[in-house]
Amino acid sequence: MRPSGRKFDQLREVSIETGFSHHAEGSALIRMGRTEVLCTASVEGKVPGFMRGQGEGWVTAEYGMLPRATHTRGDREAARGKQSGRTQEIQRLIGRSLRAVVDRKLMGEITITLDCDVLNADGGTRCASITGAYVALCLAVKKLREKNVLKVNPVIGQVAAVSCGIYQGVPVLDLDYVEDSAADADANFILTGAGGIIEIQATAEKATFDDAAFAALLALARSGTAQLFAAQSAALQG
Amino acid sequence: MRPSGRKFDQLREVSIETGFSHHAEGSALIRMGRTEVLCTASVEGKVPGFMRGQGEGWVTAEYGMLPRATHTRGDREAARGKQSGRTQEIQRLIGRSLRAVVDRKLMGEITITLDCDVLNADGGTRCASITGAYVALCLAVKKLREKNVLKVNPVIGQVAAVSCGIYQGVPVLDLDYVEDSAADADANFILTGAGGIIEIQATAEKATFDDAAFAALLALARSGTAQLFAAQSAALQG
Amino acid sequence: MRPSGRKFDQLREVSIETGFSHHAEGSALIRMGRTEVLCTASVEGKVPGFMRGQGEGWVTAEYGMLPRATHTRGDREAARGKQSGRTQEIQRLIGRSLRAVVDRKLMGEITITLDCDVLNADGGTRCASITGAYVALCLAVKKLREKNVLKVNPVIGQVAAVSCGIYQGVPVLDLDYVEDSAADADANFILTGAGGIIEIQATAEKATFDDAAFAALLALARSGTAQLFAAQSAALQG
Amino acid sequence: MRPSGRKFDQLREVSIETGFSHHAEGSALIRMGRTEVLCTASVEGKVPGFMRGQGEGWVTAEYGMLPRATHTRGDREAARGKQSGRTQEIQRLIGRSLRAVVDRKLMGEITITLDCDVLNADGGTRCASITGAYVALCLAVKKLREKNVLKVNPVIGQVAAVSCGIYQGVPVLDLDYVEDSAADADANFILTGAGGIIEIQATAEKATFDDAAFAALLALARSGTAQLFAAQSAALQG
Amino acid sequence: MRPSGRKFDQLREVSIETGFSHHAEGSALIRMGRTEVLCTASVEGKVPGFMRGQGEGWVTAEYGMLPRATHTRGDREAARGKQSGRTQEIQRLIGRSLRAVVDRKLMGEITITLDCDVLNADGGTRCASITGAYVALCLAVKKLREKNVLKVNPVIGQVAAVSCGIYQGVPVLDLDYVEDSAADADANFILTGAGGIIEIQATAEKATFDDAAFAALLALARSGTAQLFAAQSAALQG
Amino acid sequence: MRPSGRKFDQLREVSIETGFSHHAEGSALIRMGRTEVLCTASVEGKVPGFMRGQGEGWVTAEYGMLPRATHTRGDREAARGKQSGRTQEIQRLIGRSLRAVVDRKLMGEITITLDCDVLNADGGTRCASITGAYVALCLAVKKLREKNVLKVNPVIGQVAAVSCGIYQGVPVLDLDYVEDSAADADANFILTGAGGIIEIQATAEKATFDDAAFAALLALARSGTAQLFAAQSAALQG
């Protein structure tokens, strides 16, 4: 029995609200249960120094958590003067995942920055960030195409992410905080709409796992992301 | 004529939504027009080192702005590795303003931290932060009294803040971003429900001003904060 | 009775010594009682990046305190690796105040940096910094005009600053450290020779105050700055 | 054809030299082809603050690269004043991987820090670090058992790591730098001697991949780590 | 011919003014020609962590330069967020030099911090700092003995410092900035009143030098420090 | 009797192994007894900003110590976020020493960076760094001449360094860690093959010393560096 009463293969309730940010070229407030992440896409008409003159664009991400998004207040990273290793790991992952579905040659020398800020945290914030950032990215691209800054759509795939884990010996989909804290193992799957794997991060937390367990997690992830792809499409339709 | 069409003495639409944060002891999402600030109050059962052993509590504040709360994306302070002078100035002001209505001797050795994070910015974020933080503080105190951590209410006054400015030669109430950018002078007034002055910060931006102009700004501020006190009370009633 | 024996409307003894710095284009060592601040003006033939190509100049300020300018030794900010919020607040204030009396369009693309370093502190260091920095600025401008770098004088007003406060219920002029530590409220007034207000920062420290008290502080400030304007003029004459 | 002429399932030449460090409780200089990492284990008789009083030990890791371990000289992280996101990601991974084979309840309140410093880099430095750190850890534990600081062996499993990737469409074992730079996808596998999975990090670099490709990579990794377990055992025997 | 017209073995005019700092336990404003350094000694009733419980005292130093002490304005180290290598080298030297004439066992667990802040720089600031800091230290010790905090005098020797150099092939005493910039070699000598050597730092700037040249520099230094010892004694008498 | 059994004028066993680094233009692993330093020379085809356009080259150095090069593990400077004063002092010294034997006008606008990383420390690491860096520099220059990047050899002298000290009243050559910790005084001599002095740093640690003692140390240094010059030449021959 999962603490939330969900079935082993049941996602939390998902909602994606667009337009929360007044200024961003694209924005999506994604909620997966009590996890809420505000994702914005910001466009800048140049690329970082190491990219200049190649005629390609750049897509990058930053991640943050409001100090009281969590059960007990965390230090504000701006006040501590540095981002934690965890924060950097997550924002590098978000950036890589989005770049995997963008053909940067089609962008020209512009940068799109995806900011994922966690307003409320209840597990799975990095996966929610990726799923929401995809929507913000598509909205920004849509605006750039309307303005004719982009002639063609550089977004060449759909990406969503979900965590799975082994909780009390059972593979389950979409861990919330309580499950995540007690899981034997957890894994984040970043998958494409076309069935490809972009990234897998699987970690034994309390016990190592075998190939069969891993296969079960991957199957759950495919089922979970199918629902997330639908939610993204609905939000972009809306 | 103000760009927004408001009258010279007209506040923007104000709303204060409580409970936005799932974990904080108190929270208020304040909206003044298109400016939106999430204020949370977090309680910790100890005080900073310099306060220890005196039997008094501490109230402090931190302030931040999401990178894309603004027209063009700003650097993430956590990524840059330090808070700007502006950020520090604002969070020091919020902390001072709230402490002015708290009798810290009645708190015991606990700390209440007010985090004010700007989700959307359209001028007046520091004033909105103070007005919203007061509500978050009261909610946290209410919870502490229900749990009997506090025997009496240490909040001994009501505080709200509003900006005024001289725009095209005319004193006006509650500047939005467009007005703020073009104002000859602006001033932030932090006032108490009992009519006292907690803090005044008046600055000539484009032109110095005289005593009469200053008096007009103060009068506008008193009228504006009267409405904010009512909005706070309604939110706390709700 | 004030601890120093001064009357409620009496400034501390003021002296402004020019030329203390051997290298600076302009320098003034200002003493207000036992508060001593060395103000230097340094000229550089370019402006910061965000100002380039606009044909205007820039005026900015930095503030520091020697570690043992105070009763007990303070940390050296260079050793701690960052400037405190207080330091940043003060240097932003000094910069704004001086820019308010300069027509930067008349400067061309040069920068004048005002360094205000407190050698001995006894209250009122930010006000003394502004009053002294004005003298250093004028001396540097004089030198630039002699060298024909500047065709006209870009300094279009005179600025001085003084603190006032409510000490044991009585409004008094020019707080020293002992008074400042015990004041109910204090206020810094930055005023022009022509009677204009550049900046007011009034703060309730121990008790809020009302409009009448504020008016009394402003009147004291006008009387105090009149004397400071005379001292500046004498120093520049000398 | 692999650039190095190796077969698709062939490891680079592996050597593990113990005792390179004169002072460390355990040390291993691991070479995988032209990648060389010096791993040291240092014992300290206490645990970090967040672990104190629980009677458990702590195992952690730090990772660094000499500035000229690479083709072109990289910035020295100590000089830049911060560790890169990549560095932090790697050292967190090494620490997690080693903790997965240690029963920290059997350690008492001591800390073992594994420093992995890359002297020469030619791809696969994080995997070599984990494989080498295991040997350094075992040597340190052996010394602690000889001194009777540890009554029982807290190392309850064997861990080694290897990278695999899809290079020109073919799954290959143990990427060197040239292959790594051109691979469609790569994956790091951290496996136990008993066949368990500790961590998988699989990333699409140039193209997404499917389940069959992933299975092929995992099979290669199992074959590669079998050889690494043997090399570790031989080094510890020696 | 020296640029200043001095003879090869002639010191610049030296003056040491005590009591410039109002708050410090001891202070000396030392002037060697146009080089001016304010040295203060601050007493704190405890020692740093690594010294605690040994019954000995600690003497340490910090060094700084006002941004416009030099010909062109230098960055403020507090604003840059770190002390330069040069600054750290100098303050370590000052601390070592003073500790060499103090028997710290006679101090008890107190710390004396010597702050040396350069108000005007014209070469030789590190030597002037040491010579001035000695006076500030003695004044602080005198005050501590008057208060009976110290039973005996822990200052067991006299220390002064002077730079010498080879300028246009000729060994000269007490380089000013113009000479220092053009010297073939320079050397700082920190010597005791009893004729002992505390520290020598000799550096070939434009040309290496031989043993005879070195001997000539040392002889000049002995003659220079003899005059500095007298100036220190006079200042302490006064 | 020296702890190591060496005679007062006996160097530790010296070896210099070239080519340890696979990528560097020049590298030398120098061992003096149990002190081991890896020195690499890296060439970059440009000079720092302050040197540009002068047609001269630049030679600089960085120094580091692996955390467990020492008896007890030291903090990793990259993790602490800054280099210690000691580190900066040493790397400035290494850079100065090497520049003293290079005619930078003969280099063109290229930079050679010498990285000296201590793998094992047993006293004398800064001297070993200088002696080893000379070899790495010569190897890099040789490669640049082979490629015809350099037409003539800019290395115009030979440099080596050795420490001496007064140990139990006796001047001795080449202190190891045990001697260094207990020495009354120590001195580092950086000398040229032609008999010139580049730098002397002599410091009284436990007792001041006189001219005769200093002369004895210098004589020992000349004898020690003679052997180091031979070892360098042999390594470069090899």
Residue D116 main-chain phi, psi, to 5 deg: -115, 110
Residue C103 belongs to what H/E stretch?
none
Q: Tell me the mean pLDDT in the region C186-195.
A: 96
- pTM of structure: 0.93
**pLDDT over 90 (residue C12):** yes
What radius of gyration do chain D's Cα atoms show?
Answer: 18
- Spell C195-208 as b/e; 16+ CB within 10 A means b: ebbbbbbbbbbeeb
Give the tens place of pLDDT for each residue, E141-189: 999 999 999 999 999 999 999 999 999 999 999 999 999 999 999 999 9
DSSP state letter for C7? -
Residues of chain C whose beta carbon is less than 8 angstroms from a beta carbon of chain E are 20-24, 27, 34, 38, 40, 42, 44, 62, 64, 66-73, 76-83, 87, 113, 115, 117, 119-120, 122
Cβ distance of D88 and A88 shorter than 8 Å = yes
3-state secondary structure of B163: strand
**pLDDT over 90 (residue C238):** no
**pLDDT over 80 (residue B116):** yes
**pLDDT over 90 (residue F70):** yes
Per-domain boundaries in chain E: 14-237
Numbered residues of the known binding site of E: 86, 124-126
Block residue for tokens 């800048």: A44
Integer angstrom CA distances of residue E88 from A183, E59, E113 = 50, 16, 15
Burial of B100 (0-12, 13-18, 19+ CB in 10 A): buried
Residue D44 main-chain phi, psi, to 5 deg: -130, 140
CA atoms lying within 13 Å on the CB side of residue C167: 23
Task: Name the residue in chain D with its Cα closest to that of A219.
Answer: D211
Instruction: Please choose, from the candidates A179, A199, A192, the residue with its C-alpha nearest in 3D space to the C-alpha of residue A35.
Output: A179
Block residue for tokens 């920055």: A113
Task: Name the residue in chain A with its Cα closest to that of D184.
Answer: A198
Amino acid at D192: T
**pLDDT over 80 (residue F238):** no
Instruction: Please choose, from the candidates D54, D24, D57, the residue with its C-alpha nearest in 3D space to the C-alpha of residue D152.
Output: D57
Residue F202 belongs to what H/E stretch?
strand F197-204
H helices of C63-103, where?
Answer: 77-80, 85-99
**pLDDT over 80 (residue E128):** yes
The conformational region for residue E150 under phi > 0 = left, psi -120 to 50 = alpha, else beta, is beta
DSSP state letter for B65? E
Which 3-state string (H, E, C) describes B172-205?
EECCCHHHHHHCCEEEEEEEECCCCEEEEEEEEC
Cβ–Cβ under 8 Å, residues E87 and E77: yes
3-state secondary structure of E238: coil
**pLDDT over 80 (residue A91):** yes
Instruction: Please choose, from the candidates D99, D103, D97, D118, the residue with its C-alpha nearest in 3D space to the C-alpha of residue D37.
Output: D118
Please tell me the distance from the alpha carbon of residue A184 to that of residue D95, in angstroms, as a whole number. 17
Residues of chain C whose beta carbon is less than 8 angstroms from a beta carbon of chain B are 82, 85-86, 88-89, 91-92, 96, 100, 157, 187, 192, 194-204, 207-211, 214, 218
**pLDDT over 80 (residue B126):** yes
Cβ distance of B100 and C218 shorter than 8 Å = no
Please tell me the distance from the alpha carbon of residue C119 to that of residue C114, in angstroms, as a whole number. 16
3-state secondary structure of C84: coil
B99 marked as binding residue: no
Cβ–Cβ under 8 Å, residues F164 and F171: yes
- Tell me the shortest Cα–Cα distance from B180 to chain C, in angstroms: 16
- Tell me the shortest Cα–Cα distance from B62 to chain A, in angstroms: 8
- Tell me the shortest Cα–Cα distance from D73 to chain F, in angstroms: 7
- Tell me the shortest Cα–Cα distance from F186 to chain E, in angstroms: 10
Find the length of chain C.
238
Please tell me the distance from the alpha carbon of residue B201 to that of residue C198, in angstroms, as a whole number. 11
DSSP state letter for D207? S
What radius of gyration do chain A's Cα atoms show?
Answer: 18
Please tell me the distance from the alpha carbon of residue D216 to that of residue D211, in angstroms, as a whole number. 9
Give the tens place of pLDDT for each residue, C25-71: 999 999 999 999 999 999 999 999 999 999 999 999 999 999 999 99
pLDDT score, position C101: 97
Residue C203 belongs to what H/E stretch?
strand C197-204
| Chain C with chain E: Cβ pairs closer than 8 A | 102
Give the tens place of pLDDT for each residue, B200-213: 999 999 999 999 99
Cβ distance of B197 and C210 shorter than 8 Å = yes
Cβ distance of E208 and F197 shorter than 8 Å = yes
Give the tens place of pLDDT for each residue, D53-73: 999 999 999 999 999 999 999
Of E27, E42, E79, the CB nearest to C83: E79
Please tell me the distance from the alpha carbon of residue D91 to that of residue E14, in angstroms, as a whole number. 56
Strands of the sheet containing A14-18, edge to edge, are: A14-18, A26-32, A35-44, A111-120, A58-65
Beta bridge partners of F85: none
- Tell me the shortest Cα–Cα distance from D209 to chain A, in angstroms: 5
Of F92, F199, F209, the CB nearest to E204: F199
Give the tens place of pLDDT for each residue, A95-132: 999 999 999 999 999 999 999 999 999 999 999 999 99
How does residue A18 score in pLDDT terms, banded at 50, 70 and 90?
very high
| Tokens at F229, concatenated | 């010059």
- Tell me the shortest Cα–Cα distance from A83 to chain D, in angstroms: 9
Cβ distance of A66 and B113 shorter than 8 Å = no
Integer angstrom CA distances of residue B68 from A40, A93, A107, A115, A141 = 7, 20, 21, 8, 17
Please tell me the distance from the alpha carbon of residue E112 to that of residue E57, in angstroms, as a whole number. 8
3-state secondary structure of E30: strand
Cβ–Cβ under 8 Å, residues D216 and D171: yes
Chain-centroid distance of CA A126 in Å reads 5
Residues of chain A whose beta carbon is less than 8 angstroms from a beta carbon of chain B are 20-24, 27, 34, 38, 40, 42, 44, 62, 64, 66-73, 76-83, 87, 113, 115, 117, 119-120, 122
How does residue D1 score in pLDDT terms, banded at 50, 70 and 90?
confident
3-state secondary structure of F31: strand
Of F88, F157, F195, the CB nearest to E88: F88
Please tell me the distance from the alpha carbon of residue F145 to that of residue F112, in angstroms, as a whole number. 14
Three-point CA angle C212, C216, C217, nearest 5°:
120
Longest dimension (CA), chain F: 56
Amino acid at A11: L
Give the tens place of pLDDT for each residue, D32-47: 999 999 999 999 999 9
The conformational region for residue B61 under phi > 0 = left, psi -120 to 50 = alpha, else beta, is beta
Please tell me the distance from the alpha carbon of residue E220 to that of residue B113, in angstroms, as a whole number. 63
Mean of per-residue pLDDT scores for chain D: 96
E-chain residues near F194 (CB < 8 A): 208
Mean of per-residue pLDDT scores for chain B: 96
CATH code assigned to F14-237: 3.30.230.70
D-chain residues near A196 (CB < 8 A): 204, 207-210
3-state secondary structure of A116: strand
ipTM: 0.95
How does residue E96 score in pLDDT terms, banded at 50, 70 and 90?
very high
The conformational region for residue C88 under phi > 0 = left, psi -120 to 50 = alpha, else beta, is alpha
- Chains in contact with D via at least 3 Cβ–Cβ pairs below 8 Å: A, F
Percent of residues in chain B assigned helix, strand, coil, to nearest 5: 35, 30, 35
Give the tens place of pLDDT for each residue, F142-197: 999 999 999 999 999 999 999 999 999 999 999 999 999 999 999 999 999 999 99
Please tell me the distance from the alpha carbon of residue A35 to that of residue A120, in angstroms, as a whole number. 5
How does residue B1 score in pLDDT terms, banded at 50, 70 and 90?
confident
E-chain residues near F92 (CB < 8 A): 85-86, 89
Mean of per-residue pLDDT scores for chain A: 96
3-state secondary structure of C83: coil
Amino acid at C35: T
- Spell C164-187 as b/e; 16+ CB within 10 A means b: bbbbeeebbbbbbbebbeebbbbb
Instruction: Please choose, from the candidates C183, C92, E81, the residue with its C-alpha nearest in 3D space to the C-alpha of residue B89.
Output: C92
* Torsion angle, alpha carbons of C229, C230, C234, C237, to 10: 60
pLDDT score, position E102: 97
| Chain A with chain B: Cβ pairs closer than 8 A | 102
Beta bridge partners of A18: A28
Give the tens place of pLDDT for each residue, B11-43: 999 999 999 999 999 999 999 999 999 999 999
Instruction: Please choose, from the candidates C167, C137, C161, the residue with its C-alpha nearest in 3D space to the C-alpha of residue C150.
Output: C137
DSSP state letter for A4? T
Please tell me the distance from the alpha carbon of residue D192 to that of residue B5, in angstroms, as a whole number. 70
Please tell me the distance from the alpha carbon of residue D160 to that of residue D130, in angstroms, as a whole number. 6
